[in-house]
Amino acid sequence: MAQAPTDLTRLAGYELAGLLAAGEVSSVEATQAHLDRIAAVDGEIHAFLHVNDGALEQAKTIDERRASGERLHDLAGAPVAIKDVLCTIGMPSTSGSRILEGWVPPYDATVVARLKAAGLVALGKTNMDEFAMGSSTEHSAYGPTRNPWDTERIPGGSGGGSAAAVAAFEAPFALGSDTGGSIRQPAAVTGTVGVKPTYGGVSRYGAIALASSLDQVGPVTRTVLDSALIHDVIGGHDPHDSTSLKREWPSFTAAAREGAASGSLAGLKVGVVKELDSEGIAADVQARFQETVQVLTDAGAEVVEVSCPSFEYSVAAYYLILPAEASSNLARFDSVRFGLRVEQQGQTVEDVMAASREAGFGPEVKRRIILGTYALSAGYYDAYYGSAQKVRTLIQRDFDAAFEQVDLLISPAAPTTAFKIGEKIDDPLAMYVNDITTIPANLAGIPGMGLPMGLGDDGLPVGLQLLAPMFEDARLYRAGATIEALLADRWGGILTTQAPALRDAAPSGSSATTAGGAA
Amino acid sequence: MSEITREEVQHLAGLARIALTDDEVTSLTTELSQIVDAIATVREVAGDDIPATSHPVPMANVLREDVVGETLTHEQAFAGAPSHDGERFRVSAILGEEQ
């Protein structure tokens, strides 16, 4: 659809940053445009849990610094949305949970501090499944986020708020966190781009922990280059995170620019994971995937099938390891130092803790804490948690063997297009298998990207997943940007330009929906 | 079929310090049995000869210089506390009447 070129919210992040750096647009103008967009559509989308009332003031400061001739970062003045799992000074950080309602942290997550230091302006905090446990954002204690492509449908999860915010043009950049697919799966169902970096590539300091050996913070955007720009800002060693990797990373921005310019995948060996191209994948997703494989082949890539036999056990291993780690991590919500306290006269501190956790945690969080407590309890530990850790070794070995044959692995990023809100909420197991394509990367620690590969039969976005070997994040950006450019040529622009218009200022709680699919 | 009983769920809830309602115990008893059945498949492939992986990138003894780092002030540390006296977090009795 035709959009006036003056609408700053329709620009890609790198385009907006270019105008800011050139002084053609002020940060106040860019920030105001996005705040206006949030005011217009977020009543219906509910991507944000909190909007930063200091955003314009921060934008003004950036404009003044730029006017005074100070040399600023390339992204200075650009607005960014931050997933509520990340601690932010001056903004509540709830992780989507009632137990942290209104909690304002005394420190910034390292990734937030790095964005601030680069001069990006935080628009607010985005909605998520409670403590990042979920694949639909329906488990948020503050109500679901709606998919901008069809507001009766889920935007994926747990980072549905960040994905919906960029898909609905409420922000050009956002941050997410990915424990089992929470960046890549929302990208798939909202037609956007998201990257889970190599484990340890981005600091977890100040990210409210779900499963510490799986969690990784990453970018959420509409284009591959925009993700690279954010990754370059937030990545790198952080002494505050003992699992942070001490290594020099190449410029992901340069990799994305090279990839976009090359137009060719000649010399690239790509593996299709047989086990992720199975009967569990919907027919329309499979069809788009086959077409994409053809696009890759036409661009010179050599595509072969590889087998990762242990992937069959990845969901099972994940739903032992994650609850085990989560049940330990969430023990910190004890009603003593922060968060909700529910208390009656004469109760012991143990009673108060149990009552506070009963009142503060939602059903999915309780389910996983109890499951994790079970998996770690005496008599079951070896059979369940111990076995799951062995499966983790087998999955790493599968990836090692696959990457001896190919440079990159591809699969659908999610097994279906966005399902309807409410459709799977009462069936935990049906919800859990949504992450079948994304979980293996977290178990192995390797980097992955979700990016659009077209529309399904219902006119809803379908996502492609790219996986690279450990530390080879740059390979994702180079190939991802080439694939994005090839597909955009076929579509006449990136996929989000086809998203249906949203009604302005729809009343909150309205069940009205936009016209199903894209034009 | 894993048989997880109500009593087991109540015991786990006690360990996890969550005061579940009777209805929650009922639904969790059913759900946990189903979930444990689904995830018990990990035992099929976990042979004795396979080492366990706890962490994707093995690292050991990540230490820093033993010097004072960045710390929170009392005011910052207490800012989100449900109850405090300015120097200590305040909690209710540790021991009950019968203890």
What Rg do the C-alpha atoms of chain A give, in angstroms?
A: 22
Is residue A250 in some structural domain? yes
Considering only alpha carbons, which residue of chain A is nearest residue B9? A370
Q: Tell whether the model's pLDDT for residue A199 goes beyond 60.
A: yes
**Mean pLDDT value of segment A324-341:** 97
Q: Which residues of B touch A370 (CB under 8 A)?
A: 9, 12-13, 16, 18, 28, 32
- Please indicate, yes or no, if residue B31 is contained in any of the structural domains: yes
- The per-residue b/e assignment along A63-84, b for 16 or more CB within 10 angstroms, e otherwise, is bebbeeeeeebbbbbbbbbbbb
Say whether pLDDT at A2 is over 90: no
Instruction: Using CB atoms within 10 Å of the CB of residue A258, give its burial: 0 to 12 exposed, 13 to 18 middle, 19+ buried.
Output: middle
Spatial distance between the Cα atoms of B60 and A53, rounded to a whole number of angstroms: 43
**Domains in chain A, number:** 1
Q: What's the pLDDT score for residue A517?
A: 33
CA atoms within 13 A on the CB side of A60: 5
| B69 domain residue, yes or no | no
Query: What are A384-442's pLDDT values in tens digits?
Result: 999 999 999 999 999 999 999 999 999 999 999 999 999 998 888 888 888 899 999 99
Give the residue numbers spanning the domain of B38. Answer: 1-47
Span A177-183, average pLDDT: 98
The answer as to whether A328 is a domain residue is no
Mutation test of the interface with chain A: which of B35, B66, B76, choosing the one with the most A Cβ atoms within 10 A? B35
Q: What one-character DSSP code corresponds to residue A385? A: I
Residue A63 reports pLDDT greater than 70: yes
Q: Which of 16-55 (B) contact A at CB < 8 A?
A: 16-21, 24, 28, 31-32, 34-36, 38-47, 50-55
Tell me whether residue B25 is in a domain: yes
Average pLDDT over residues A475-504: 93
Contact A367 B44 (CB under 8 A): no
In a domain, A75, yes or no: yes
**Which pLDDT band, with edges at 50, 70 and 90, does A507 fall under?**
very low
> Residue A28 sits in which domain range?
8-312+390-498
Confidence of residue A153 (pLDDT cuts 50, 70, 90): very high
Residue A438 CB coordination number (10 Å)? 31
Dist. CA A137–CA A130, nearest whole Å = 8
Q: Under an 8 A CB cutoff, do A106 and B80 touch?
A: yes
| Residue B5 within any structural domain of the chain | yes
CATH classification of the domain holding B29: 1.10.20.60
* B8 inside domain: yes
Rounded to an integer, what distance in angstroms lies between the CA atom of residue A105 and that of residue A97?
A: 14
Over range A167-179, report the average pLDDT.
98
* Residue-averaged pLDDT of chain A: 94
B1 touches chain A (CB under 8 A): no
**In-domain check, residue A276:** yes
**Measured between CB atoms, does A286 come within 8 Å of chain B?**
no
Residue B62 lies in a domain: no
Residues 406-435 of A with CB under 8 A from B: 428-429, 432
* A383: closest chain B residue by CA: B43
Residue A403, in any domain of the structure: yes
Model confidence, pTM = 0.95
Helix axes B22-39, A314-329, angle to 10 degrees: 140
Give the angle subtended at the CA of A257 by the CAs of A254 and A259, to the nearest 5°: 110
At residue A505 the predicted structure's pLDDT band, cuts being 50, 70 and 90, is: low
Indicate yes or no: CB of B50 within 8 angstroms of CB of A349.
no
Exposed (0-12), middle (13-18) or buried (19+): which is A98, by Cβ within 10 Å?
middle
Q: What is the pLDDT of residues B35-92, one digit of tens each?
A: 999 899 999 888 899 999 999 998 888 898 999 988 999 999 999 999 999 999 999 8
Chain A residues closer than 8 Å to B19 by CB: 351, 354-355, 357-358
ipTM confidence score: 0.95
Q: What is the pLDDT of residue B98?
A: 66
Q: What is the 3-state secondary structure (H, E, C) of A287-330?
A: HHHHHHHHHHHHCCCEEEEECCHHHHHHHHHHHHHHHHHHHHHH
- Render pLDDT for A241-285 as a digit per residue (tens, 0 to 9): 999 999 999 999 999 999 999 999 999 999 999 998 777 899 999
Q: Cite the active site residues of A.
A: 83, 158, 182
Query: Do the Cβ atoms of A390 and B28 come within 8 Å?
Result: no
Three-state secondary structure call for residue B9: helix
Instruction: Over range A374-387, report the average pLDDT.
Output: 91
Give the whole-angstrom CA distance, residue B50 versus residue A310: 13
What is the sign of the dihedral through the CA atoms of B77, A369, A47 and A13? positive
CB A167 within 8 A of CB A149: yes
Find chain A residues with C-beta within 8 A of B64's C-beta: 239
Contact A135/A42 with Cβ under 8 angstroms?
A: no
Please give the average per-residue pLDDT across A306-328, as a whole number: 96
Contacts of A369 (CB under 8 A, 6+ apart): A323, A326, A327, A330, A361, B16, B18
The CATH number of whichever domain residue A474 belongs to comes to 3.90.1300.10
Number of domains forming the structure of chain B: 1
User: CB B79 to CB A317 under 8 A?
Assistant: no
Residue B99's pLDDT is what? 57
Judged by a CB distance cut-off of 8 A, whether residue A335 touches chain B is: yes
Structure tokens at A399: 């990836």
Higher model confidence: residue A101 or residue A496? A101
Nearest to A357 among B9, B17, B50 (CB): B17
Q: How far is CA B84 from CA A331, A478, B17, B81, in A?
A: 20, 53, 22, 7
Q: Does the residue B98 lie in any domain?
A: no
The answer on pLDDT for B1 being more than 80 is no
Q: B96 in contact with A at a CB cutoff of 8 Å? A: yes
SS3 A176: strand
If you average pLDDT over residues A224-241, what whole number do you get?
97
Residue B96 has a pLDDT of: 78
Distance of CA A394 to the CA centre of its chain: 26
- Count CA atoms within 13 Å of residue A261 on its CB side: 6
- What is the Cα–Cα distance from A396 to B47, expressed in whole angstroms? 16
Please give, one letter per residue, the 3-state secondary structure of A441-469.
HHHHCCCEEEEEEEECCCCCEEEEEEECC
Segment A303-313 shows an average pLDDT of 96
Asked if residue A519 has pLDDT above 80, the reply is no
Question: Which of A401, A377, A392 is CA-nearest to residue B55?
Answer: A392
- Whether residue B42 is contained in a domain is answered as yes
A residues 480-509 lying closer than 8 A (beta carbon) to B: none
